[in-house]
Amino acid sequence: MTAAAWMKAVLAALESLLAMLESHVAYALNQHLVAGIENLKGFNGRAV
């Protein structure tokens, strides 16, 4: 493999890793927000 091919392979791997991380973070944030809203509902007895 040439250096350029190595760089391309490494960049592609990093990109897919970043995409996985982004979707995981988005999912975790979403779950956190949903839990926070449910918590507020329980606190106030209604949605805020």
Q: Give residue 18's pLDDT.
A: 95
pLDDT value, residue 45: 61
pLDDT of residue 23: 93
Statement: the pTM of the whole predicted model exceeds 0.85: no
For 32, residues 6+ apart whose C-beta sits below 8 A from its C-beta are none
For residue 48, pLDDT over 70 is answered with no
Q: What is the pLDDT of residue 13?
A: 96
Here the tokens at position 38 are 């449910």
Q: Which tens digit of pLDDT belongs to each residue from 3-47? A: 999 999 999 999 999 999 999 999 999 999 999 888 888 876 655
For residue 21, the tally of other CB atoms under 10 A from its CB is 10
